[in-house]
Amino acid sequence: MAGTTKVPQSSTATDQLPAGELDIVPVRNYARWIAAVASVLALVGLVGSLAKNDNLHWDVVGEYLFADLIFDGLATTLWLTAAAMLLGLALGTLIAVMRLSSSPVLYGLANAFVWVFRGTPLLVQIIFWGYAAALYKYVKIGIPFTDVTFFQAETNSLLTPAIAALLALGLNEAAYASEIVRAGIQSVDPGQAEAAHSLGMRPALTMRRIVLPQAMRVIIPPMGNETINMLKMTALVSVISAHDLMSNIQDVYAQNYQVIPMLVVASIWYLALVTLLSVPQAWLERRYGRGTTRAAHVSPLRRLLGGTMERLGKNSKEQNR
């Protein structure tokens, strides 16, 4: 700091810029510090009371947290989430493109699909698929009104609880995903498609190479939300006992009556999985954000400390020189 000239306050006229380098005092956020201390105290109190509450039976939580049955359920929950999201996104993109198509047939079909699958409760759809065998005993693919059959099987052997759960979640997701994808496609400047067309690119190629990659930037954040939702909605398929995490948890507390501890086990795992999901989302957002500038991420600690850290960093850099 030897080079810093300190200008006395009195010599700084209002219409004159200071001659030398002055020390900058960042804004002190006293209210933030008070709020931070109060929040920490409240949280410590809450955690303490939970830890000391005997009704929670932490021993039961500990016993089941890493039980085989729970891991089996977790595996089902995970593949069900992944498969249903893939089905939903693929079908949803197709439906979004159909809804934007100039063909009245495609548009009408897509609209009808969204109307049905968005318009009925997911729980109803899950139970419906679970009991589809009561509607059609056999699944037959052939030419209608003739005896020609290419494929025939008993509905119950095809629609296992897991497959029924996948269809229910995936088709429901497709209806919602299609609206998200449609919004994404419509957010892309029409000039982009015109430029692609003027280069001789056909509509399908234009959609795949030019429009969808740009739409992804708008699609990913809500689809991240949908994935998190899906992970939790898989709990609903316990009604057709698809052996997901929640089904297995229910099986346990139906026998040992430890409802609250078992729900704590479920909550811990759902929270852990949701936390993990934010990692691929951040990666995807960076991947599709290429070519757009965005502000660097500022950590909460840094925001609490205000400009202090930046100044420290700057000083140390100067010293290194």
Partner 1 sequence: MSTPMVRAEGVRKHFGKLEVLKGIDLTVERGQVCCLLGPSGSGKSTFLRCINHLERIDGGRLAVDGQLVGYRRQGDKLHELREREVAERRRDIGMVFQRFNLFPHMTAVENVMEAPVKVGSVPKAEAREQAQELLTRVGLGDRAHHYPAQLSGGQQQRVAIARALAMRPKLMLFDEPTSALDPELVGDVLDVMRQLAADGMTMVVVTHEIGFAREVGDTAVFMDEGVVVEAGDPRRVLVDPEQERTRAFLSKVL
CB of 296 to partner 1, least distance (A): 16
In the shown chain, the binding pattern of residues 67 to 96 toward partner 1, with x for contact by CB under 8 A and - for none, equals ------------------------------
Within residues 198-217, the interface with partner 1 by CB under 8 A covers: 198-203, 205, 209-210, 213-214
CB of 265 to partner 1, least distance (A): 43
Q: Which of 3, 104, 144, 191 binds partner 1 (CB under 8 A)?
A: 191
Q: Does 293 bind partner 1 (CB under 8 A)?
A: yes
CB of 215 to partner 1, least distance (A): 10
* 307 backbone dihedrals φ, ψ, rounded to 5°: -80, -5
State both tokens at 91: 């079908």
In the shown chain, the binding pattern of residues 214 to 253 toward partner 1, with x for contact by CB under 8 A and - for none, equals x---------------------------------------
215 touches 188 (CB < 8 A): yes
CB of 292 to partner 1, least distance (A): 6
Which conformational region is residue 153 in: left (phi greater than 0), alpha (psi within -120 to 50 degrees), or beta?
beta
* Part of the chain binding partner 1 (CB under 8 A), chosen from 9-17, 42-50, 285-293, 298-306: 285-293
165 or 215: CB nearest partner 1? 215
- Within 8 A by CB and 6+ apart from 178, the residues are 91, 92, 93, 94, 95, 96, 99, 110, 113, 114
Q: Which of 160, 192, 256, 315 binds partner 1 (CB under 8 A)?
A: 192
- Within 8 A by CB and 6+ apart from 130, the residues are 159, 161, 164, 165, 168, 239, 240
Name the CA radius of gyration of the chain, rounded: 29
For residue 253, which amino acid is it?
Answer: Y
* Part of the chain binding partner 1 (CB under 8 A), chosen from 112-120, 247-255, 270-278, 286-294: 286-294
- Within 8 A by CB and 6+ apart from 78, the residues are 273
Q: Which of 57, 197, 232, 311 binds partner 1 (CB under 8 A)?
A: 197
CB of 294 to partner 1, least distance (A): 11
111 or 192: CB nearest partner 1? 192
Q: Which of 52, 290, 317, 321 binds partner 1 (CB under 8 A)?
A: 290
196 or 249: CB nearest partner 1? 196
Secondary element (H or E) of residue 271: helix 259-288
Q: Which residues is 151 bridged to in the sheet? A: 141
4 or 292: CB nearest partner 1? 292
139 touches 161 (CB < 8 A): no
Within residues 160-189, the interface with partner 1 by CB under 8 A covers: 189
CB of 104 to partner 1, least distance (A): 17
* CA dihedral sign, ordered 216, 222, 226, 229: positive
Strand segments, DSSP code E, in the chain are 138-142, 149-154
Rounded CA-CA distance 181/215 in Å is 7
CB of 109 to partner 1, least distance (A): 20
Q: Nearest CA to 304 among 41, 32, 34?
A: 32
Q: Which residues bind partner 1 (CB under 8 A)?
A: 189, 191-192, 194-203, 205, 209-210, 213-214, 288, 290-293
